[in-house]
Amino acid sequence: MPRGDGMGPPGGGSQRGGRMRGTAPGAGPGGECVCPSCGTRIAHGVGAPCNTIHCPSCGSLMIRG
C-alpha cells in the first residue's frame, strides 16, 4: 500500500501481470510465433493465437516469442 492506509494504489488496481499488460513483449497483433522444438519463427497475425498454429517445419505447436 503506497500510503500505508489500506487504500491501495491511487486509481485502483495494480498494473502488473494479467492480460492488460500494454506494451509488454508479446502483447498485440505484431510480433512472432516461435517453435519451441526447432526454433522456426513466423510472423504473428491477427485472429490466430500462436498456440493454435502448427510449425511449418516440424509440426509442433508454436509459442509467442
DSSP code, position 35? -
Residue 3 CA: distances (Å) to CA of 7, 9, 12, 57: 8, 8, 13, 54
pLDDT at 5: 72
pLDDT at 8: 64
pLDDT at 46: 86
pTM of the model: 0.56
Per-residue pLDDT of the chain (65 residues; tens, 9 = 90+): 566 677 766 665 555 544 554 455 555 678 999 999 999 999 998 888 999 999 999 999 999 98
Q: What ranges do the domains of the chain cover?
A: 29-58
Q: Smallest Cα–Cα separation from 17: which of 5, 9, 32, 27?
A: 27
